[in-house]
Amino acid sequence: MSNLKETALRGLLWSLSEKFLSKGIAFVVSVVLARVLLPSDFGQIALISIVIALGQTLSDSGMTQSLIRSQNLDNGDYSTVFILNVVVSVFIYCVVYFLSPFIASFYSEPGLVKILRVLSLQIPLASFTSIQETHLTKEMEFRKQMLIQIPSKLISGILGIALAYSGFGVWSLVYMYLSAVFINSLLLWFSSNWWPKAIFDLAKLKYHFNYGIKLTLSSLVTTIYENIYQILIGKYYSSTDLGFYTRALETQRLPVSNLSAALNKVTFPMFAMIQNDDEKLKKSYKALMIQVVFWVLPAMLILNISSEPLFNLLFTEKWSESIPYFELLCFAGICYPLSSYNLGILKIKGRSDLFLKLEIIKKSYITIFLIMFLTKGILFLIILSVITSFIAVILNSYYSGRLINYGLIEQLKDLIPTVLLALFVYFLTYYSFSLLHNLTDFSKVFITTILFLSLYLGGAYILKFQIFNELKAILKYRRNY
């Protein structure tokens, strides 16, 4: 393997380990908490999640992405961005603090005032170590990041469970999330080799700001859209309804967001190294895209089939109203890593302007449709989400493919064999699942998973999919390192 490919594979393995372990711990914690707390408790946190997300996006201003992409940096670049991030994040917290009563009034939830003021402290806390994390990502030090993430998730999770069983209700979630950011920041600060200096270079600020501002605006649009369902459900339905929707969404995102985040963390700095070599970029992009689809498809389809016994097993029948939401969201989950992965090409090529235009166009018409059909019910809104997710993948793939001479038609041709095999196995497994009677929930989930994977991987082997050659290369690489 080439040095670049070896670095990418090593980074991907550590990044995947970090994401799945940290998110796995968080998921186990959420399962325990879901059995103790009420859906309305999770709904209250979901109501203000967009405020926290917007604050974090604004505090960064997209400049950490510029640091990862740019070459020949010195401490002046890092220190300038660090100082600005901290100042902006403190200002944002003050704004959120004073706006809290108005936000609570919007949702008709007066109890949100104190919750939001405490939970939004994570915005300035995270800003103090955003550059340390950026530095580790740029250097592809994903093993070190994993060793930081795991303790923070574990300790905060134990704290959250202890508080929940002690009767703290929604505040057990608040202190859990806040402590996770605090511990993570503390570990990053003391484990990083980089320390800020009293340097604030306006020329460097202008360079990174010009690149980052378009990404920030794009991220703001994306953040608003990704939380638009929580906003509308929280406003026009109840916090309990929002709790059911949030539970379905978080369960769907466990495999999807982990894979997507791990890929983005590795591929962005990797692609940045070859951003001027379109042939090499296309080859790497194609190989990773096929890998993403090959593994995401079965994960989402298995979850779709086994949704009812899975939710009963993990969360008890108290959360049964989440099941139909979850089944539909699994189809939307197929698109999430691909959309994110395609948009990464636009960032690498420096086309943050096109990135922004795409996000505004997509999110504008989607928001209009949401408002038009708001009264049709939550289930209808999720169906709309599935449709628009597939449209977004097509648009993102088309424009990113043009930049590296890898058109949409060529991409579809490369993906069709995997998609057809997955759909064939899906219908076979779905029919078999309908025959499983008088079995425990665990048995249904286990049998469904084994049957699907056996048929899917067996079919891919018989049809001689190239995916196995890549897998052998990864396993061989792991043995050598």
> E strands along 429-477, which residues?
none
Closest CA to 96 of 114, 73, 75, 72: 114
Spatial distance between the Cα atoms of 276 and 163, rounded to a whole number of angstroms = 52
Please give the pLDDT value at position 479.
46
pLDDT reported for residue 258: 64
Q: Exposed (0-12), middle (13-18) or buried (19+): which is 116, by Cβ within 10 Å?
A: buried
CA 354, 342, 338, 13 torsion: positive or negative? negative
pLDDT at 440: 92
Q: How many CB atoms are located within 10 Å of the residue 207 CB?
A: 16
* Closest listed residue to residue 16, CA positions, set 187, 268, 266: 266
What is the model's pLDDT at position 14?
Answer: 56
pLDDT (0 to 100) of residue 481: 43
Q: Which of 144, 114, 117 is nearest to 129 (CA)?
A: 144
Regions of the chain where pLDDT drops below 70: 1-20, 61-62, 138-142, 257-275, 352, 470-481
Q: Which residue has the tokens 């058109």?
A: 407
Torsion of CA 100, 105, 109, 115, to 10 degrees: 0
Do residues 153 and 180 lie in contact, with contact meaning Cβ atoms separated by under 8 Å?
yes
User: Which alpha helices (H) appear in 334-466, and where do they start and end?
Assistant: 336-348, 352-372, 378-403, 408-433, 441-462
How far, rounded to the nearest angstrom, does the alpha carbon of residue 331 sit from its chain's CA centroid? 16
Rounded CA-CA distance 432/346 in Å is: 43
Residue 416: φ, ψ to 5°: -55, -45
- Identify which of 154, 160, 158 has the alpha carbon closest to the alpha carbon of residue 176: 160
